[in-house]
Amino acid sequence: MEITENGFINLEDFMPKGDTFVVQMLPVATKKATETGIIVSTQDDSVIEDRPNFGKIVSVGPDCERKIGEYVYVQKAMGYDLEMIRKPEGVEAYVLLYEDAIIGNRIS
C-alpha cells in the first residue's frame, strides 16, 4: 500500500475490509483564497476542524450493507482519514468508517 507524501493512504491501492466503507466528505469552505490563489486560514488549520460531516460513499467492504453513491451524515472526528486534498474551496477528505459513525442519511 502506497503512502502519499502528506502521510495518507493512496486510495487507488485501497479496498475496505469487512463492514467498513469509504466516504468522500464533501468540501465545506473553511479558507479564503486571494485573487492569486493563495489560501488564507481563517481559523485553526486542524484537519479535524476542516473536515465536513456530510459525504458520499465511494467504496464498500464485502460485508457492508451500505451502497456506493449513498449520501450520509457522520459524526465529527470519527473514522480513519485515508486521504486529504486541500483546495481553495475547502478540504476534500476520504474517510474509512464503520456503521456506528453514521448519524443519518440524506432523504432526497
What CATH number corresponds to the domain at position 42? 2.30.33.40
What range does the domain containing 65 cover?
A: 11-105
**pTM (2 d.p.):** 0.67
- Look at the chain and report how many structural domains it folds into: 1
Ordered alpha helix ranges (H), 5-104? 47-50
Give the separation between CA 80 and CA 21, rounded to whole angstroms: 11
Give the separation between CA 45 and CA 74, rounded to whole angstroms: 21
Residue 52, all three cell numbers: 465536513
Give the separation between CA 15 and CA 90, rounded to whole angstroms: 26
Residue 6 inside a domain? The answer is no
pLDDT tens readout for residues 25-82: 876 555 566 778 776 655 444 444 555 588 999 999 999 999 999 999 888 777 888 8
